[in-house]
């Protein structure tokens, strides 16, 4: 059948890729028997199913595929980085610094960078999260790099 690289072809390929990773790891687990299933039974079954579904998706991809949706890659990168940096800063640097860095990194996903507006938003959010999470919910979260 005529196939070419399109959205569903790639989707099927992704299924195959993940299925092979799953199966590769699944062989480390004991399969057991149907009567007394081991920990490896379900992973193997699911891995094979995923591979089959991937092949089906690929075979029919020429008929089923639709165009790729437009994705805002800039937002994807900026927001993901923002969350990761927040995770890294939370413990050592405290909530306030982590919040400010998150707001600025998220703000980078806009075409126009507005440092003053983001600064105001960051300050407002610091205040709000202090009220909600620290004062009313009493969460033990470090606030500044030098506190407790």
Q: Where does this chain bind another protein (CB under 8 A)?
A: 7-8, 10-11, 14-15, 18, 22, 25, 29-30, 33-39, 42-43, 46, 49-50, 53-54, 56-57, 60, 63-64, 66, 68-69, 71-72, 75-76, 79-80, 82-84, 86-88, 90-91, 95, 99, 102-103, 106-107, 109-111, 114, 117-118, 121-122, 125, 129, 133, 137, 139-141
Nearer of residues 133 and 144 to another protein, judged by Cβ = 133
Nearer of residues 137 and 146 to another protein, judged by Cβ = 137
Sign of the CA dihedral with 12 first, then 18, 19, and 24 last:
positive
Nearer of residues 36 and 146 to another protein, judged by Cβ = 36
Strand partners, 32: 37
**Cβ 27 to another protein, closest distance in Å?**
12
DSSP secondary structure letters along 70-120: P--HHHHHHHHHHHHHHHHHHHHH-HHHHHHHHHHHHHTTSSS--HHHHHH
- Residue 52: C-alpha distances to residues 58, 64, 68, 72, 142 (Å): 10, 17, 23, 32, 49
**Cβ 15 to another protein, closest distance in Å?**
5
**Cβ 146 to another protein, closest distance in Å?**
19
Nearer of residues 3 and 79 to another protein, judged by Cβ = 79
Task: Residue 112: count other Cβ atoms within 10 Å of its Cβ.
Answer: 6
CA distance 107 to 130: 21
């Amino acid at each position: 059948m005529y196939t070419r690289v399109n959205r569903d072809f790639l989707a099927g390929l992704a299924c195959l890729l993940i299925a092979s990773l799953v199966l590769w790891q699944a062989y480390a687990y004991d399969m057991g028997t149907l009567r007394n299933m081991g920990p490896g039974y379900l992973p193997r079954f699911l891995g094979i199913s995923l591979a089959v579904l991937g092949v089906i998706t690929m075979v029919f991809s020429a008929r089923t595929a639709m165009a790729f949706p437009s994705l805002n890659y800039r937002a994807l990168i900026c927001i993901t980085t923002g969350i990761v940096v927040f995770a890294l800063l939370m413990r050592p640097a405290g909530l306030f610094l982590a919040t400010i860095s998150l707001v600025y990194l998220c703000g980078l996903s806009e075409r126009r960078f507005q440092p003053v507006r983001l600064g105001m938003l960051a300050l407002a959010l610091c205040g709000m999260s202090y009220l909600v999470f620290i004062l009313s919910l009493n969460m033990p979260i470090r606030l500044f790099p030098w506190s407790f």
